[in-house]
Amino acid sequence: MRPDVHLPVDQSGSIFAPGPREKCGVFGIWGHPRGVHLSYLGLYAQQHRGQESAGIAVSDGVTLEATAGMGLVSDVFNEDTLNRLARAGTAGAIGHNRYSTAGGSKACNVQPLLQSFVGGQVAVGHNGNLINAEAHRREFEDAGHIFHTTSDTEVIVHLLASPAQQSQADPIAATLRRLQGAFSLVLLFPDRLEAARDPWGWRPLVLGKIEEGGKTYFVVASETVALHVVGATFLREVEPGEIITINAKGMTSRRFTDRSSQPAHCAFEHVYFASPASQIFGQNVQRVRELLGEALSREAPVDADFVMPMPDSGRSAANGYARASGLPYREGIVPNRYVGRTFIKPTQEARRAAVRLKLNVVEEIVRGQRVVVVDDSVVRGTTTREKMIQIREAGAKEIHLRISCPPIRHPCHFGVDFATRDQLIAAERSVEEIREFLGVDSLHYLSLEGMLGCMQHKAEHYCSACWTGQYRLDPDKPETGPISEAGQLKIFAEK
């Protein structure tokens, strides 16, 4: 008899996804006459990176204005809202999708964050997570500063406004040198747009251009899929440690650090986060996921009747697994596209029903069959187990679960909202214990070597801390001083 299944709910009794949550998506454009509407489309294209809140800030060349709110892009903006912003912001615009990792899900934390300081107005959109934000915040609060949000992004504004940075020749560069962690930023000022990426390149940030009416308009975004949607041509990635300035004169670039250490690209962007249509860290995401599936097939072949994906994130890897193994590919689970957050009583059976609403198993396909189920990851495991129960109850003869990344055993401090270590199913369990918990006939995770072998760059150029516990920065001892060259190549093990 299987154990009771307990799925996480919030205080309202709403089911929430226990898997990894995307941090954010950012977008920025300067000078285009339809900049606001293109920002809306850019955010829409990156909705997968955050569904908690959305916002757009605009400049008319003198002042800034912003509209942001909780919910999806389509919830926050309508035609009237966009037209009003378009009239208010004829110079430039930035946009932001949010899924919180620092500060929590609160209306006060929606971005872009619009603030006034000694240098004028600034709006900030941030993708990532700062490990020294709390230390900076304590210093500022001890000095009498008042914070209006609980987000780490507000720390950036306080740093920018501080005399220590304002006295520097390049206040933005001086500010960025005080940040530790992952950040891909768009900053809108009345007269320009600035975009910057942390020295380690944890999160993606790309630069594109639109050629229209004999003019060139520059665009920045988290992913290339946003460039494609607005008709922009991909130029290149914003380099780690680089600041891009876009204004009426065009585009210029400078560096805020000359560090030449290895980057720490987040491998999970390829495994789960990014759109399959995007180019991330020089590779197409769809193709990488297919390669992950192919590698998984070589590492863990099984005698089965067909391969099926766990929608939607397992689909690309499942295609790769099926092709490499020679097994047929079939869609045995159909997602319900019309189910959002389901507000129900927090009882076990009601929670199970909510999960079943979102994923419907096709009994005629799985009944009596030996199935290989491919998914991208298992985080807490409770929802995965419920999915496996559904497949078993539909009559599957055997279930062989294949995961296209290694077991997630450690929390992420750099922009992924993984659970704390004690909530991660793989933190204290062996693969065999996880298999028993999930109720499948066999379970195999892709090895770290197999996963990184599918990537274009050297293995050491990717952050794999959530799998290995080896961090590029020490999350337990964040510093608030400027970036120094010494010690930045050390690897810190989780304590």
**Looking at this protein, which amino acid is placed at residue 270?**
H
pLDDT at 2: 30
Q: Which pLDDT value is given to residue 10? A: 35
Q: Is pLDDT at 1 greater than 70 in this prediction?
A: no
DSSP annotation string for 191-257: TEEEEEE-TT--S--EEEEEEETTEEEEEEESSHHHHHHTTPEEEEEPPTTEEEEEETTEEEEEES-
From 24, 405, 463, 466, active-site residue: 24
CATH class of this structure's domain 285-452: alpha beta
Among residues 428, 375, 330, 320, which one has the least CA distance to residue 17?
375
Determine the average pLDDT of the residues in 82-86: 96
For residue 234, what pLDDT band results from cuts at 50, 70 and 90? very high
Say if residue 145 is exposed, middle or buried (CB neighbours under 10 Å; 0-12, 13-18, 19+): middle
24 belongs to the catalytic site: yes
Q: Rounded mean pLDDT of 421-425?
A: 89
Q: How many angstroms separate the CA atoms of 166 and 483, rounded?
A: 17
Mean pLDDT of 199-214: 96
Predicted local distance difference test score (pLDDT) of residue 6: 31
Fold of the 24-261 domain: Glutamine Phosphoribosylpyrophosphate, subunit 1, domain 1 (3.60.20)
Question: What is the rounded distance in angstroms from the CA atom of residue 328 to the CA atom of residue 386?
Answer: 25
Q: How far apart are CA 129 and CA 137, in angstroms?
A: 14
Region 19-41 average pLDDT: 87
Which of 134-148, 309-323, 471-485 comes out lowest in average pLDDT? 471-485
Q: Which residues contact 50 (CB under 8 A, 6 or more apart)?
A: 22, 23, 24, 25, 97, 98, 99
CA distance 158 to 171: 12
Tell me the two tokens of residue 448.
């770290």
CA dihedral 283, 289, 291, 294 (to 10 degrees): 180
494, amino acid identity:
E
What residue spans define the domains of the chain? 24-261, 285-452
Each residue of 52-74: pLDDT tens digit? 899 999 999 999 999 999 999 99
Q: Which of 224, 94, 77 is nearest to 153 (CA)?
A: 94
CB 201 within 8 A of CB 264: yes
pLDDT for 7 equals 31
- Confidence class for position 479, pLDDT limits 50, 70, 90: confident
